[in-house]
Amino acid sequence: MSISELAGIDVPTGMLIGGEWTKGAATFPVIDPATEEPLAEVADGTVADALDAVGAAQAALPGWAATPPRQRAEVLRKAFELMTARAEQFARLMSAENGKSLRDARGEAAYAAEFFRWYAEEAVRVEGTLLRAPSGANRIITLHQPIGVALLITPWNFPAAMATRKIGPALAAGCPVVLKPAEDTPLTALALAGLLSEAGVPDGVVNVVTTASPAPVVSAMLADPRVRKLSFTGSTEVGKVLLGQAAQQVISSSMELGGNAPFIVFEDADIPAAVEGALIAKMRNGGEACTAANRFYVHQAVADEFVAAFAARMRALVVGPGLDEATELGPLVNEAARAKVAGLVDDATGHGAALVTGGRKPDRRGYFYEPTLLDAVPADAGLLGTEIFGPVAPVVRFSDEADAVRWANATEFGLVSYVYTDDLRRGLRVAEALETGMVGLNRGLVSDPAAPFGGVKQSGLGREGGHDGLLEYTETKYIATDW
Ligand code: NAD
């Protein structure tokens, strides 16, 4: 069965450059992580293809920037409607190429479409200011102009949402884009590009370059002075490399990088609610989320109760291919990801952590790993300092609020943290003290297209979503005037 038949929509396998679908000189395979079999062959874009895409975007810039905001909004609104109508097909496509359960994939399809709706609404609200200079001598006008051609680089864990979270605001602001999706999951990006063309996006405004060699292709685009914006979502390691390259042309850079989220449960928390929140924060997307709870700090007075209830829920999760309706946990994206997770668990138990449930690769084809809970994890276990990116929950017990906050902050990452307490004063005090860009207070999920998503420290620069996400694709111009 072809990937288009499997998903139930047309899934292109060529690149979209300047409104033309091009096959490219070579191809690379996309693998189904549940079967380890190839799903499709996708165009392997070269440096020349990438520079053609930048040229097409640059040629489309004046027209798109001058398009009335209402018209841009209506194209995005149409994209929202098309994606909502095809949510099930997009869910199947993501499940096939990423491995995630259909339940997670359906959630992502809806979430991804919401970025088109939100930015359709924001496109008409790019406001400036007018004020009188303090001296009284003149007026100060500010306006936000489209920044120019934007290079968007996305990871494999949310193949649709990470793309729409960038394309939505870029198009709303008047910027054409070149999207370079992750090589593990390029098909969703290509299907999205087809959908955007159908929604009325003019030729050259959205270009997609797929490649199995991201390093030279991305470097060439960042060395091209026509690129004025880089929006990257991926690992901190690659983000640092790209920031260095962007610096050569002083390209404005938004970075959504890795996380190491603490999940703190205080003794006054509603424990059943904390367990529900933990399950979402840890197991949504099989733990392959930058927002995934990575370390559970649980007050010793409630730790036995929390661990027992959390372990029961983890044990009961149905593991299987993402496309099976009953599946709650699909495979990891590839063998390297599974080997990393298995290595971290072995290291933790080797250092004395107690294995409560899981800890094994199921005996079947596909990159599966059991839902795993570790208790009494010692401070020197590698997984407390590493982004696990898999279905593994390490629990550390604490007895003092100050210790919990100090341990939570003892990381170079700062994307999100979670706090469970029924004492609002404590909740807000701890939320203020945590060094993260976002906090879930009695919630295991923070992502929302209307909210500014992003991290501090080595988790990133800038924000996506909300109004802030739109401003990332604009430059502020100041005009001093007399009248
Ligand atoms: P990755 O950094 O390996 O890859 C991300 C993207 O960069 C891909 O498109 C890849 O092809 C490209 N890339 C890889 N090496 C490159 C290079 N040398 N030069 C140019 N481009 C290169 O990350 P990943 O494994 O795809 O995704 C997982 C990471 O993404 C995790 O660290 C996760 O936390 C992070 N992430 C962050 C957010 C966020 O919003 N903060 C969201 C999702 C994922």
pLDDT reported for residue 258 = 97
Token pair in block for residue 401: 């609020």
Q: Is the CB of 155 under 6 A from ligand 1?
A: yes
Report which of 444, 445, 446, 443 is spatially closest to residue 466, judged by C-alpha positions. Answer: 446
Pairing between strand 15-17 and 20-22? antiparallel
Q: Is the CB of 188 under 6 A from ligand 1?
A: no
232: CA distance to ligand 1 center in Å? 8
Closest residue by Cα to atom 18, ligand 1, is 215
pLDDT reported for residue 109 = 98
Give tens-digit pLDDT for 130-139. Answer: 999 999 999 9
Q: Is the CB of 215 under 6 A from ligand 1?
A: yes
pLDDT reported for residue 347 = 97
pLDDT reported for residue 460 = 97
Q: Is the CB of 287 under 6 A from ligand 1?
A: no
Q: Using 70 as the pLDDT threshold, list the residues of the chain that sit under it.
A: none
Is 256 one of the catalytic residues? yes
Report which of 182, 34, 37, 9 is spatially closest to residue 95, judged by C-alpha positions. Answer: 34
Whole-structure pTM value: 0.97
Residue 414 and residue 79 in contact, taking contact as beta carbons nearer than 8 Å: no
Residue 13 and residue 43 in contact, taking contact as beta carbons nearer than 8 Å: yes
Residue 391 and residue 282 in contact, taking contact as beta carbons nearer than 8 Å: yes
Interacting residues of 49 by C-beta distance below 8 A, sequence separation 6+: 15, 17, 22, 24, 43, 209, 211, 217
Residue 194 and residue 12 in contact, taking contact as beta carbons nearer than 8 Å: yes
Is 175 one of the catalytic residues? no
Pocket test for ligand 1, best of 42, 108, 153 (most atoms within 8 A of CB): 153
pLDDT reported for residue 47 = 98
Q: Is the CB of 184 under 6 A from ligand 1?
A: no
pLDDT reported for residue 483 = 87
Count of all residues that appear for the chain in the document: 483
